[in-house]
Amino acid sequence: MIAVENVSKTYSGQTALAPTTLALAPGRTTVLIGPSGCGKSTLLRLLIGLISPDSGTVTVGGEILTPQTVEKRRHEIGYVIQDGGLFPHLTAAQNVALLARFLGRSESGVQERITELSSLVQLPADALSRYPNNLSGGQRQRVGLMRALMLDPPLLLLDEPLGALDPITRSELQSQLKDIFARLEKTVVLVTHDMGEAAYFGDTIVLMRAGKIVQTGTLEDLLQRPAEKYVTDFIRAQRSPLPPMPEAASEERN
C-alpha cells in the first residue's frame, strides 16, 4: 500500500528527515512516535504529498507520488489533524461534504454518507448544523474524522489527532477510534508523542529521533529487544507507558 524509499527532507539546510526507507503493511495501524522535531509529522506530510521529498520516492497504491499524480492520490487518502482542522465559516455537515460536492457527487449520496458517518463516529445529529466554534473539542475531532472518511479512502493518516483534548474525552475517543479502525480495516498511519497511545493503537510502532528511524517493531520488540539504549530511555521517560484501557464510554458524548 505505502512505501518510502530513501526519502529525505531539509529546510534551510536543517535536516527534518534523513534518508528513510519504510514499508507500511496494508490493513494495519502503524504509529510514528518520537519527541518534537524528530521528523514524524514531516514523514506523514510526505506520505500525503503536502510536501515533496528532496530525494527518494513515496509510493502509494503502487504509484509514485509526483506533481502529476499527487492530486488523484490525495482523494484516496483521509487526513486528520489536531482539533479537526475545520473551516470556521462552514457548518459541520458542510465541512464533511466539501470535497464530495466539489467532485460532483450526488446530493442524495452525500447526505446518506453523512448520516452513515455521524452514526459511525457517534456524533449527535443536531451537531451537524453547528459551526466549529459551537462544537466541543471532541465533536470537532469527530467531524474531522468524518471528513477524512467521506470518500471511503483505503488509507487514513492522523497527525496527533487527540493531542488537544482533555484526558476523559481523549480516552473515550481512543476507544472509539480503535473500534473504527478494526471495523473499517483500513491502512492507518498515526502520529503521536505518547507511548501509551502508540501501544494502544499500533500493530507496528516506528520510533524516531533527529530525523531518523531508531527502531520499527511491535510494542514487545521495543520493550524486550530495544535496538539501542535510547529506545529504553524513551519508554521509561513516559509517565504512562501502558495502553489506556477505558472501562466504559461516557453516556454523554463530548
Beta carbons of 178 and 201 less than 8 angstroms apart: yes
Q: What is the pLDDT of residue 62?
A: 86
Q: Phi first, then psi: what are they for 94, rounded to 5°?
A: -65, -35
Q: What is the pLDDT of residue 73?
A: 87
Cα 124 to Cα 187: distance, rounded to the nearest angstrom:
27
Q: What is the pLDDT of residues 111-132, one digit of tens each?
A: 999 999 999 999 999 999 999 9
- Structure-block grid coordinates of residue 155: 488509507
Cα 226 to Cα 138: distance, rounded to the nearest angstrom:
35
Q: How confident is the model at residue 252 (pLDDT cuts 50, 70, 90)?
A: very low
SS (HEC) of 166-222: CHHHHHHHHHHHHHHHHHHCCEEEEEECCHHHHHHHCCEEEEEECCEEEEEECHHHH
Q: What is the pLDDT of residue 165?
A: 84
Ranges 12-26, 87-101, 153-167, 221-235: which has the least confidence: 153-167
What value does the mean pLDDT take over residues 134-139? 94
Q: What is the pLDDT of residue 247?
A: 46
Q: What is the pLDDT of residue 251?
A: 41
Q: Phi first, then psi: what are they for 41, rounded to 5°?
A: -70, -35
CATH class, domain 1-76+154-224+237-245, is alpha beta
Q: At what angle do helices 137-149 and 167-184 cross, to 10 degrees?
A: 20
Q: What is the pLDDT of residue 253?
A: 44
Beta carbons of 60 and 219 less than 8 angstroms apart: no
Residue 89: pLDDT over 70 = yes
pTM of the model: 0.89
What are the residue ranges spanned by the domains of the chain?
A: 1-76+154-224+237-245, 87-152
Q: What is the pLDDT of residue 239?
A: 58
Q: What is the pLDDT of residues 163-221, one digit of tens each?
A: 878 888 888 999 999 999 999 999 999 999 999 999 999 999 999 999 999 999 999 99
Q: What is the pLDDT of residue 129?
A: 97
